[in-house]
Amino acid sequence: MGRKSISEVGVEDLVQAGLTTEEATGFQRVLKDSLSCTKGSDSSEVWRHLVARRALKPWHPHGLHQLVYYSVYAHWDVSSKGPPPYWFPSLYESKHTNMGGIMEKHGSSLLGPLYKDPITSYSLFQKFSAQHPEAYWSIVLKELSVSFQEEPKCILDRSDLKSKHGGSWLPGSVLNIAECCLLPTAYPRKDDDSLAIVWRDEGCDDSGINIITLKQLREQVISVAKALDAMFSKGDAIAIDMPMTANAVIIYLAIILSGLVVVSIADSFAPKEISIRLRVSQAKAIFTQDFILRGSRKFPLYSRVVEAAPDKVIVLPAIGSNVGIQLREQDINYSPCYQPVDTLINILFSSGTTGEPKAIPWTQLSPIRCAAESWAHMDMQVGDVFCWPTNLGWVMGPILIFSSFLSGATLALYHGSPLGYGFGKFVQDAGVTKLGTVPSLVKAWKNTQCMNGLDWTKIKCFASTGETSNVDDDLWLSSRAYYKPVIECCGGTELSSSYIQGNLLQPQAFGAFSTTSMTTSLVILDEHGNPFMQPDDQACIGEVGLFPLYLGATDRLLNADHEEVYFKGMPLYKGMRLRRHGDIIKRTVGGYFIVQGRADDTMNLGGIKTSSVEIERVCDRADESIVETAAVSVSPVDGGPEQLVMFVVLKNGYNSEAENLRTKFSKAIQSNLNPLFKVRFVKIVPEFPRTASNKLLRRVLRDQIKHELSARSRI
């Protein structure tokens, strides 16, 4: 596809891409005009011109978007120029973004004569923020609705970096971060009548949008908090295993407001996984829902929770429930539990390579970090409507809540499956301006064409995380809103945020990250653990090492050795012990980043990080013919989300079929681990490659299957 250059594209090509002959004739004139206007220019200028004049419409067939994009960049040399850009910031608009605004206001005083404008000086300002995080945070904290009961003694205490690698952030400060979400503020502008949440139930596509104002949200949160006060003691852990509904958000904020600790559990987990999380967190109770509704189907949730044997269950009906009550005027007053900024408020879980999920503590610093990043990189503002299909059991759930409420944006929730037309119509009707996704979801939308006929042109930017993005899928997504940027985000629960991202002040390339996040520094390590020393715009590939001064990053784990997990074995750099993240990243020519996978055997399936060990334990028991299994994940040859591949060694005398094993493995994994996981491919081998100490070399197996799949694609 698209190996013709754009100047060679004719009417016949345009007809084959889905246009009528009349439309193709007119569109070819547009192409010729753009080529004439950009004669002698770089391919990126041709693309910029076509996008600026909105030559390609959201309703044009995707084949046309593919033809034009790939033809424009047919002779683009990635090795010398880096990935081709598809979105370009404008100087005028850049000055009206959040980051552009503070750069215009403070750039000259912080950078001196080196400051030019938000686009030219962005990279310089990002580096300044990493070298002087105190200066950056002193500015940005004033941009969010963060109100301290006791002000911090300083931004960062560096006095004990030997024992506390990340320092102490905002020491001495006291607040309740849930209260900060709920109170009116003059800046950012939030009043009692501001829209806090907009939502719609699946199946009600032609109904109006339901709304909850800030005052209504505050009153419902307080009513739940008062009930919690009567049942539990400060610091108790209370789990939530529910879909991401308005009720779930109210419960989440109420738990924090009352000084309790949220335990986040994804609603897709099997009883065994729920039980593990309840045990590790020592949860005193769990909120859940009777069923999960998806169209006309009902999936049991309460019964799974009960099987996990919690101490206490608070169950809500899926239909017609309102967890809060309307308070009388005299009942509205409530005194939140004010606590130090480093107090635990939320326990989230991330699978490690040992098979048991790591219990990751979020303190009140974590919401500040994630909200600040959405403010800076997605330009989250008052008036924005922010939607991201997710769940409170995954890090994006809390990020969505705090990024909306601490910036003054409206949170948009669809109570149902995001896979179909109903979700897309909600995005249209709710006036969503910032839409978050995961790549597998975008692929489903594109392949099923379920969003055809909808108007998503109010969207100012998209965001994507959880998996490696596919260029063609992102091309489809961006085109739905006249090529608005897709902000790629890569980070972790333990960071409360992303360490590399896109933004609105730099050109963006599909599937690539244009910058480290604000205040973040990193180095890329070679195979010997030594940092590459090339300039930032030169290519290299290796494991990432993060500078440890990172507001919101964990300094402890609840069921593992934090030092061993994140710092042991990492090199010193500029006097600081680097923090391990585990990603292998490639820095391209031009300074973009592309994630290449994990340094360990953790894999990323459907946006959920899991370990090879967990999957192998389940699959080893799936059939009597099996000696052992090995789980690896690979990305498709043309890019996109990782796919699960199982290698199998059979017992002597057995002759099982790979396809039968694939079905059994998928069923076993879905029953015991996660119903969202599935096996893409099974390969039966006589033995596994191992080290001299008998350790399984999954890396070798991964390389073998990559080579095999690549060879198949060429046939």
DSSP secondary structure string, 231-245? H--TT-EEEEES-S-
Work out the pLDDT band at 174, boundaries 50, 70, 90: very high
Q: What was the pLDDT predicted at 89?
A: 98
Q: What was the pLDDT predicted at 331?
A: 65
**Tens digits of residue pLDDT in 44-66:** 999 999 999 999 999 999 999 99
DSSP secondary structure string, 610-642? EEHHHHHHHHTTS-TTEEEEEEEEE--TT--S-
Q: CB neighbours of 123 closer than 8 A, spacing ≥ 6?
A: 506, 515, 536, 591
For the chain, state the CA radius of gyration: 26
**Tens digits of residue pLDDT in 74-92:** 999 998 999 999 999 999 9
Half-sphere exposure of residue 567: CA atoms within 13 angstroms, side-chain side? 22
CB-CB contact of 204 with 416 (8 Å) = no
Q: What was the pLDDT predicted at 672?
A: 81
**Residue 556, exposed/middle/buried by CB under 10 A (0-12, 13-18, 19+)?**
middle
CB-CB contact of 50 with 72 (8 Å) = yes
Q: Which two tokens stand for residue 488?
A: 């790629």
Q: Which of 144-153, 390-399, 535-544 has the lowest mean pLDDT?
A: 535-544
CB-CB contact of 430 with 597 (8 Å) = no
| pLDDT, the chain, mean | 92
Beta-bridge mates of residue 634: 643
Give the integer Cα–Cα distance in Å for 328 and 452. Answer: 46
- Enumerate the domain spans of the chain: 6-76, 174-587, 601-713
CATH number of the domain at 174-587, please?
Answer: 3.40.50.12780
Work out the pLDDT band at 248, boundaries 50, 70, 90: very high
Token look-up 């290299």 returns 540
What average pLDDT does range 644-663 have in this prediction? 92
DSSP secondary structure string, 285-339? EEEEESEEEETTEEEE-HHHHHHT--S-EEEE-SSS--SS-PPPGGG-------E
Single out the residue of 225, 216, 210, 223 nearest to residue 191, CA to CA: 216
Work out the pLDDT band at 333, boundaries 50, 70, 90: confident
**Residue 688, exposed/middle/buried by CB under 10 A (0-12, 13-18, 19+)?**
middle
What average pLDDT does range 245-269 have in this prediction? 97
Single out the residue of 334, 373, 338 nearest to residue 172, CA to CA: 338
Work out the pLDDT band at 661, boundaries 50, 70, 90: very high
Q: What was the pLDDT predicted at 328?
A: 55
Give the integer Cα–Cα distance in Å for 64 and 71. Answer: 10
Task: Report the CATH architecture of 601-713.
Answer: 2-Layer Sandwich (3.30)
CB-CB contact of 665 with 679 (8 Å) = yes
Q: Which of 43-52, 638-647, 695-704 has the lowest mean pLDDT?
A: 695-704
Q: What is the 3-state secondary structure (H, E, C) of 571-583?
A: CEECCEECEEEEE
Give the integer Cα–Cα distance in Å for 214 and 119. Answer: 35
Give the integer Cα–Cα distance in Å for 695 and 611. Answer: 16
Pairing of strands 515-516, 497-501: antiparallel
What average pLDDT does range 175-190 have in this prediction? 96
Contacts 24+ apart (CB under 8 A), 289-293: 289/242, 289/243, 289/245, 289/315, 289/316, 289/317, 289/318, 290/315, 290/316, 290/317, 290/318, 291/318, 292/243, 292/267, 292/318, 293/202, 293/318, 293/319, 293/415, 293/416
CB-CB contact of 275 with 309 (8 Å) = yes
Give the integer Cα–Cα distance in Å for 389 and 394. Answer: 11
Q: What was the pLDDT predicted at 695?
A: 57
Single out the residue of 419, 146, 461 nearest to residue 295, CA to CA: 419
What average pLDDT does range 650-676 have in this prediction? 90
What average pLDDT does range 408-432 have in this prediction? 97
- Cβ neighbours around 193 below 10 Å, total: 10
Query: Dihedrals φ, ψ of 619, to 5°?
Result: -70, -30
Q: What was the pLDDT predicted at 507?
A: 98
Q: What was the pLDDT predicted at 323?
A: 65
Would the pLDDT of 1 be above 50? Answer: no
CB-CB contact of 200 with 207 (8 Å) = yes
- Burial readout 601-634 (b: 16 or more C-beta within 10 A, e: otherwise): bbbbbbbbbbbbbbbbbbbeebbebbeebbbbbb
DSSP secondary structure string, 66-100? HHHHHHHTTT--HHHH-SPEEE---HHHHTTSHHH
- Cβ neighbours around 703 below 10 Å, total: 14
Share of the chain above pLDDT 90, in %: 76
Q: What was the pLDDT predicted at 538?
A: 84
Work out the pLDDT band at 647, boundaries 50, 70, 90: very high
Work out the pLDDT band at 39, boundaries 50, 70, 90: confident
Q: What was the pLDDT predicted at 321?
A: 64
Would the pLDDT of 694 be above 60? Answer: no
Work out the pLDDT band at 354, boundaries 50, 70, 90: very low
What average pLDDT does range 18-35 have in this prediction? 95
Would the pLDDT of 587 be above 50? Answer: yes
Helical residues (DSSP H) of 456-502, grouped into ranges: 471-479
CA dihedral in degrees (510, 597, 567, 276; nearest 10)?
A: 110
Give pTM, 2 decimals. Answer: 0.87
Q: What was the pLDDT predicted at 355?
A: 55
Q: What was the pLDDT predicted at 40?
A: 79
Give the integer Cα–Cα distance in Å for 710 and 715. Answer: 9
Work out the pLDDT band at 352, boundaries 50, 70, 90: very low
Give the integer Cα–Cα distance in Å for 384 and 163. Answer: 42
CB-CB contact of 74 with 44 (8 Å) = no
Q: What is the 3-state secondary structure (H, E, C) of 329-358?
A: HHHCCCCCCCEECCCEEEEEEEECCCCCEE
Rounded to the nearest angstrom, the gap between the alpha carbon of residue 311 and the centroid of all alpha carbons in its chain is 32
Would the pLDDT of 17 be above 90? Answer: yes
- Burial readout 7-31 (b: 16 or more C-beta within 10 A, e: otherwise): eebebebbeebbbeeeebeebbeeb
- Cβ neighbours around 311 below 10 Å, total: 11
Q: Which two tokens stand for residue 634?
A: 């690979």
* Cα–Cα separations (whole angstroms), residue 715 to 179, 287, 636, 707, 708: 60, 53, 15, 13, 11
Please provide the distance, in angstroms rounded to a whole number, between the alpha carbons at the two ends of the chain: 16
Q: What was the pLDDT predicted at 693?
A: 41
Single out the residue of 390, 366, 526, 524 nearest to residue 463, CA to CA: 390
More confidently predicted of 330 and 509: 509
Would the pLDDT of 534 be above 80? Answer: no
Pairing of strands 168-169, 156-157: antiparallel
